[in-house]
Amino acid sequence: MLAVQDLRVTFRRAGAAIEAVRQVSLDVEAGECVGIVGESGSGKTQLCLAIMGLLPPNAVVGGAVRFAGEDLLSAPPSRLSALRGAKLAMVFQDPQSALTPHLKIGVQMAEVLVRHRGLAWPAARAAALGMLGRVGMVDPARCVQQYPHELSGGMRQRVMIGMSLLCEPDLLIADEPTTALDVTVQAQVLELLGRMRRDLRMGILLVSHDLAVVAGLAERIVVMYAGRVVENARARDLFRSPRHPYTAALMACAPDLAGPVLARLPTLPGQPPGAAQRLDGCAFAPRCEYANEQCARQRPLLSTLDGGRQVACHAPLPP
Amino acid sequence: MSAPLLEVRSLRVEFDAGRGLIRRRRFTAVDDMSFVLGAGETLGVVGESGSGKSTLARALLRLVPAAAGEVRWRGENLLDLGRRALRERRRALQMVFQDPLASLDPRMTVGEILAEPLRIFEPRVRRQQRRERTDRMLRRVGLPRWTSNHYPHEFSGGQCQRIGIARAMMSAPELLICDEAVSSLDVSIQGQIVNLLTDLQAESGMAMLFISHNLAVVRHISHRVLVMYRGRLVETAPREALFAGPLHPYTRALLAAVPGAAAVRAAAGPAAEPAIGEVPADAQAPAAAQPGCAYRPRCVHAVQVCAERRPLAEAAAPGHLVACHRHAVLGYSATVNPSATPEKPSVTP
């Protein structure tokens, strides 16, 4: 349903070209949840914005993004704007800034249906009310009368998700939807996403810096580092045996609630390269404990291993 | 047993919550909080946003005024001190903040930022010596010496947090308060900073108050853990006891909600269901208005008494305090079993 091929996003700033996304390819099938995991600066958000056509004017986008067979990158702005909200929806990390502060929740939500579905206001309002109930708001009738600032972070994120689902989109892009939320609320929002996806059979592109967050929902996980895909595998394969050293390090670094208490947390030395940095070899090589001389010289290409998983590494870890 | 380094007794912090029709409304951010902290000890403070964790930290340093209670530092109540005396004590109590960049003055070089505590607390130290000590500290927190001549915005989040820690360590504090100090950092950087803090603690013998919403990090760094809910203490226990045998329904819900090991294991197996806590949807009622337990609206085990009387913290085991009317009835075991992982509470429909 969504096919991203060799997507590149480059920002031109003060004569320098900053490559945020470098040749990323991925697919999302109908009803499938694909997780994108990577640290800050790995290009996750720019990838989402490129798919949605929401990048700022100084961004240069290359490659192809096909949504239900339609090329989004060459689509005119009017067509994109018609697709967004109706077939293609996005939930942002910060629901506060994504909601209009001076409109009541009910009005903001109804407006989506009036605009995209041509519903009359009363019908749209009724649908908004129903959706608030479906996303688990305790008192939908009260919520439609409230302004965004009157709601807690968790409730605002529910409203955002409800709003993005009003037109029953085929694909939902959720960029760090739970990062600003408390753990208990996070569990509820993830559960809500899973339920809505089953109910509506929609595809989800779930972006997070936290492997554990996508673990419960995604069938397939794409790990990004420095703007590139380093590993793309079925979730269960990835957790069972990560093949890229960066994936393995990410998993080892996350402190755990189970298992022995550690005197020292496992760490990954160094830090990710900047987006402006020119890289000849593997971007992860300076931090990789398995790096050899080839890794510094030649960039590993994404190649397909057994079981349809892709890894960009000269010396993938054994299964 | 010697006197504790820090002893907090019935601390309360209130804020103005805007003007009501007749009188000012007050919001209680920290309510009846008591705990002790020994030298060299790390107390982890966990709770959701709005539970009063940061306010508690700020009240200890008198960055916000306390409405009632005592903050005893080596037996002396900090809340009674005059400005000059307080300033002198602050040398021993330092803080590291969540947003590393925002907590550093953008107009000062890193070297100047590190030298400032010396200029304030040890005005007699000469320029040359100041420079030597800031260089030594930079090296200690893992930053190269050239860092000194650069400005905070030139560094990444993890590096800025190292600078923030270096600044706090310059006055050789006896208590370091870390308010969500690793929360905004990437996973791969988080461990580096946590290890740096534990190393510095081992070298200096300082105590730490480690505030975080990340239970997994708290589990690895703390000797004891204190759980807050709506400004109140709901449970405190030695680390092993709290994670192996949590007694308060809220603590259990918090632990169950972490998308950690359980979710990863679930994804590796056939079923891929996210962990769901036993906390129902957001409860809106403000804490101060209720006479009973603040957690009652979200608690599946609540009975009549929970609405009528506020539960007081009582000892369920040595060193294990819990503020819940029902903890004994619920039959959660308080026995310490370090090898046990926290079992998931039953999800009541």
pLDDT at B335 over 70: no
Asked whether the beta carbons of A256 and B255 are under 8 A apart, the reply is: no
Co-location of B4 and B20 in the same domain: yes
For residue B269, the model assigns a pLDDT of 40
Mean pLDDT of A249-255: 89
Residue B228 included in any domain = no
| 3-class state of residue B109 by DSSP | coil
pLDDT range class, residue B242, cuts 50, 70, 90: very high
Mean pLDDT of B27-55: 93
**Candidate from A138-147, A289-298, B180-189, B289-298 with smallest mean pLDDT:** B289-298
pLDDT range class, residue B84, cuts 50, 70, 90: very high
Asked whether the beta carbons of A290 and A315 are under 8 A apart, the reply is: yes
Please count the residues of chain B: 349
Of A194, A210, A269, the CB nearest to B274: A194
Residues of B with Cβ-Cβ distance to A211 under 8 angstroms: 264
The reply to whether residue B48 touches residue A257, judged by beta carbons under 8 angstroms, is no
How far is Cα A130 from Cα A135, in angstroms, rounded to an integer?
Answer: 9
pLDDT at A167 over 50: yes
Co-location of B115 and B162 in the same domain: yes
Of B220, B239, B264, the CB nearest to A262: B220
| A133: closest chain B residue by CA | B281
Co-location of B187 and B83 in the same domain: yes
Mean pLDDT of B46-59: 91
The reply to whether residue B220 touches residue A265, judged by beta carbons under 8 angstroms, is yes
Co-location of B79 and B126 in the same domain: no
Residues of A with Cβ-Cβ distance to B214 under 8 angstroms: 255
pLDDT at B274 over 60: no
Comparing CA positions, the residue from B159, B154, B97, B93 lying closest to residue B121 is B93
- ipTM entry: 0.81
Burial profile B219-258: b = 16 or more Cβ within 10 angstroms, e = fewer: bbbbbbbbbbbbbbbbbbbbbbbbbbbbbbbbbbbbbbbb
Mean pLDDT of A276-301: 90
pLDDT at A245 over 90: yes
Mean pLDDT of B268-274: 34
The reply to whether residue B266 touches residue A215, judged by beta carbons under 8 angstroms, is yes
pLDDT range class, residue B285, cuts 50, 70, 90: very low
A24 touches B at CB < 8 Å: no
For residue B289, the model assigns a pLDDT of 57
The reply to whether residue A138 touches residue B277, judged by beta carbons under 8 angstroms, is no
Smallest CA–CA distance, residue A209 to chain B, in Å, is 7
| A211: closest chain B residue by CA | B264
The last residue of a domain, from among B129, B156, B171: B171
Most confident of A94-98, B132-136, B284-288: B132-136
Co-location of B165 and B51 in the same domain: no
Co-location of B39 and B83 in the same domain: yes
pLDDT range class, residue B20, cuts 50, 70, 90: low
For residue B297, the model assigns a pLDDT of 86
A138 touches B at CB < 8 Å: yes
Q: Per residue in A140-163, pLDDT tens?
A: 999 999 999 888 888 898 899 999
For residue B193, the model assigns a pLDDT of 93
| B338: closest chain A residue by CA | A260
For residue A298, the model assigns a pLDDT of 94
Co-location of B87 and B193 in the same domain: yes
Residue B97 included in any domain = no
Number of domains in chain B: 3
Q: How many CB atoms lie within 10 A of CB B342?
A: 21
A187 touches B at CB < 8 Å: yes
Co-location of B10 and B155 in the same domain: no
For residue A216, the model assigns a pLDDT of 86
Residue B229 included in any domain = no
The reply to whether residue B187 touches residue A250, judged by beta carbons under 8 angstroms, is yes
Q: Per residue in A52-89, pLDDT tens?
A: 999 998 999 999 999 999 999 999 999 999 999 889 99
Q: Name the pairing type of β-strands B175-179 and B207-211.
A: parallel
Q: Give how far Cα A104 sits from Cα of A108, A145, A148, A248, B340, Å.
A: 6, 6, 7, 46, 49
Residues of B with Cβ-Cβ distance to A190 under 8 angstroms: 259, 274
Co-location of B83 and B11 in the same domain: yes
The reply to whether residue B48 touches residue A183, judged by beta carbons under 8 angstroms, is yes
Co-location of B8 and B85 in the same domain: yes
Of B216, B274, B281, the CB nearest to A217: B274
pLDDT range class, residue B333, cuts 50, 70, 90: low
More confident residue, B30 or B262: B30
More confident residue, B285 or A194: A194
Mean pLDDT of A238-262: 89
For residue B315, the model assigns a pLDDT of 94
pLDDT range class, residue A17, cuts 50, 70, 90: confident
The reply to whether residue A257 touches residue B191, judged by beta carbons under 8 angstroms, is no
Domain that holds residue B326: 245-330
pLDDT at B275 over 60: no
Co-location of B70 and B181 in the same domain: yes
Mean pLDDT of A295-300: 94
pLDDT range class, residue B188, cuts 50, 70, 90: confident
Please count the residues of chain A: 319
The domain that holds B200 is classified in CATH as 3.40.50.300
Of A40, A155, A216, the CB nearest to B274: A216
For residue A278, the model assigns a pLDDT of 75
Residue B262 included in any domain = yes
The reply to whether residue B219 touches residue A257, judged by beta carbons under 8 angstroms, is yes
pLDDT range class, residue B270, cuts 50, 70, 90: very low
Comparing CA positions, the residue from B204, B206, B213, B181 lying closest to residue B194 is B181
pLDDT range class, residue A110, cuts 50, 70, 90: very high
A230 touches B at CB < 8 Å: no
pLDDT at A116 over 70: yes
Smallest CA–CA distance, residue B153 to chain A, in Å, is 14
Residue B117 included in any domain = yes
Residue B181 included in any domain = yes
Smallest CA–CA distance, residue B148 to chain A, in Å, is 19
| B240: closest chain A residue by CA | A261
Co-location of B265 and B309 in the same domain: yes
Residue B345 included in any domain = no
Smallest CA–CA distance, residue B255 to chain A, in Å, is 8
Residue B342 included in any domain = no
Residues of B with Cβ-Cβ distance to A254 under 8 angstroms: 187, 216, 260
pLDDT at B343 over 50: no
Smallest CA–CA distance, residue A181 to chain B, in Å, is 8
For residue B263, the model assigns a pLDDT of 47
pLDDT at A279 over 70: yes
Of A154, A194, A216, the CB nearest to B259: A216
Average pLDDT, chain A: 91
In the numeric block, the tokens 């995604």 are attached to: A218
Q: Give how far Cα B165 sits from Cα of B116, B178, B192, B312, Å.
A: 14, 9, 12, 36
Q: Per residue in A22-63, pLDDT tens?
A: 999 999 999 999 999 998 889 999 999 999 999 998 999 999
